[in-house]
């Protein structure tokens, strides 16, 4: 292992080398050496040492940028490009609204609806028929802020003759997502690097699903609809994906799957929430927080089942839940009140989610 010397060590080494060379080749006295040291040698050593130190720092930085585990964001993006796994860029939310007004009135493409502080652009002309029409909009700001909920209201920025200014958002639509975070991208690249593509195995399906922007988690289901069938369950950072996102993931994977695959589909990954009531000693906020973090970490470790097994099922032993609580800093004793007994064992192809923990004093 190479240990980088400090600037002072480098400078002292250069200075000593110069002095040794002068003593050997010029046969100078100690007094002459001393004069040279303070007048010339120290300046030369400091100049060369500073240059060498900068080069060492640059080399150290460059070495970090070629490895996935240590690269900074810009270098990580370049590594991803070489692996043909570009970073997920931010996307723009798309929503449909119901507009009302006079028959024949037209809401032209390019018109703007206001939603809070955001602007949504009309993507295609919409003509009011029987008093109403559906208008397709796209948020002009990328990210999640434009993910309006069904029933929300939007207002025309400028009046249009024969069109009521307020429109109602319909449920659904393509959600906008923020640009992929550095550590999430690093994890995705590491997974791809460690689990190379091999003709359609479970890891390939997981990788393909995560290549779609907005998919944070994917699980492979083998033979859910009989021998030869394949299913992929996906989740987004906010939970279940929209129908539009499921279709997007399906189309993306369908273009890549091997010809011999039979029935294939994509679904919102089934989850089951588990709430707990736990008596704790001491029942302080600090111990509660520590215990909750330990339980959450345990649930997280069980979110990666062996998906090559048909009808895989996750089981978290109750003894491990007890152990995780005991690992909490300053915990003295505890009792799991509910669930009253048994392991955490959701149905097949379902992942357990830690819900609300209610704390009581033991």
d(CA 208, CA 347): 25
94-169 and 195-268, same CATH topology: no
Does residue 185 carry a pLDDT above 60? yes
DSSP state of 203: H
Q: How confident is the model at residue 263 (pLDDT cuts 50, 70, 90)?
A: confident
**Which CATH architecture group holds 195-268?**
2-Layer Sandwich (3.30)
**CATH code of the domain occupying 94-169:** 2.40.30
Interhelix angle 42-65/7-26, rounded to 10 degrees, is 130
Percent of the chain past pLDDT 90, that is, above it, reads 65
Residue/partner pairs of 125-133 with CB below 8 Å, 24 or more apart: 126/99, 128/99, 128/100, 128/101, 128/102, 128/103, 128/104, 128/162, 128/163, 129/103, 130/103, 131/100, 131/101, 131/102, 131/103, 132/98, 132/99, 132/100, 133/98, 133/99, 133/107
Looking up tokens 């979110």 gives: 303
Asked if residue 7 has pLDDT above 60, the reply is yes
H or E element, residue 16: helix 7-26
Q: What is the pTM of this model?
A: 0.69
pLDDT range class, residue 58, cuts 50, 70, 90: confident
Q: What is the pLDDT of residues 96-143, one digit of tens each?
A: 999 999 999 999 999 999 999 999 999 999 999 999 999 999 999 999
Average pLDDT for residues 141-158, to the nearest whole number?
95
C-alpha 133/C-alpha 99 separation (Å) is 5
- Please tell me what DSSP assigns to residue 170: P
The residue count for the chain: 362
H helix runs in 106-217, sequence order:
182-194, 202-210
CA atoms within 13 A on the CB side of 203: 12
Report the pLDDT value the prediction gives residue 198, as an integer from 0 to 100: 63
Q: Does 193 have pLDDT greater than 80?
A: yes
Asked if residue 39 has pLDDT above 70, the reply is no
Match 């100690």 to its residue by tokens.
30
Residue 183 has, within 13 A of its CA and on its CB side, a CA count of 0
Q: What is the pLDDT of residue 238?
A: 85
Q: How far apart are CA 330 and CA 320, in angstroms?
A: 18
C-alpha to C-alpha distance for 94 and 91, rounded to whole angstroms: 9
- Tell me how many degrees the CA angle 243-189-88 measures, rounded to the nearest 5: 40
Could you write out the DSSP letters of every residue in 283-319?
--HHHHHHHHHHHHHHHHHTT---TTSTT----B-HH
- Give the torsion sign (CA, 19, 23, 26, 28): positive
Average pLDDT of span 249-260: 87
Mean pLDDT of 334-358: 94
**What are φ and ψ of residue 245, in 5° steps?**
-70, -40
List the domain boundaries for the chain. Answer: 7-65, 94-169, 195-268, 271-361
Most confidently modeled range among 27-36, 242-251, 302-311? 242-251
Residue 196 pLDDT level (bands cut at 50, 70, 90) = low
Across 111-120, 137-146, 211-220, 222-231, least confident range: 222-231
């Amino acid at each position: 292992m190479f240990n980088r010397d400090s600037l002072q060590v480098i400078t002292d080494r250069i200075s000593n080398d110069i002095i040794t060379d002068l003593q050997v080749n010029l046969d100078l006295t100690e007094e002459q050496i001393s004069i040279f040291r303070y007048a010339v040698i120290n300046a030369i050593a400091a100049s060369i040492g500073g240059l060498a130190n900068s080069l060492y720092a640059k080399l150290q930085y460059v070495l970090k940028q070629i490895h996935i585990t240590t690269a900074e964001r810009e270098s990580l993006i370049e590594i991803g490009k070489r692996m043909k796994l570009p970073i997920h860029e931010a996307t723009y939310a798309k929503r449909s609204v119901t507009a009302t007004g006079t028959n024949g009135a037209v809401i032209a493409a390019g018109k703007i609806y206001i939603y809070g502080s955001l602007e949504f652009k009309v993507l295609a002309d919409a003509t009011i028929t029987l008093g109403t029409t559906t208008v397709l909009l796209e948020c002009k700001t990328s990210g999640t802020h434009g993910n309006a909920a069904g029933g929300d209201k939007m207002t025309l920025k400028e009046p249009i003759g024969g069109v009521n200014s307020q429109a109602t958002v319909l449920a659904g639509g393509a959600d906008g997502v923020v640009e992929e975070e550095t550590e999430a991208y690093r994890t995705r690249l590491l997974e791809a690097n460690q689990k190379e593509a091999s003709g359609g195995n479970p890891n390939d399906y997981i990788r393909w699903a995560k290549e779609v922007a907005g998919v944070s988690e994917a699980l492979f289901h083998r033979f859910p609809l009989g021998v030869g069938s394949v299913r992929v369950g996906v989740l987004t950072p906010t939970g279940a994906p929209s129908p539009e996102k499921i279709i997007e993931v399906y189309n993306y994977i369908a273009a890549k799957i091997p010809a011999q695959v039979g029935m294939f589909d994509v679904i919102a990954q089934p989850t089951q929430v588990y709430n707990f009531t736990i008596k704790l000693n001491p029942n302080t906020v600090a111990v509660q927080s520590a215990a909750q973090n330990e339980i959450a970490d345990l649930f997280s470790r069980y979110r990666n089942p062996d998906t090559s097994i048909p009808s895989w099922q996750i089981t978290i032993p109750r003894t491990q839940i007890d152990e995780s609580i005991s690992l909490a800093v300053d915990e003295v004793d505890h009792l799991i009140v509910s669930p009253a007994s048994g392991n955490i064992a959701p149905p097949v192809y379902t992942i357990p989610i830690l819900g609300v923990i209610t704390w009581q004093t033991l």
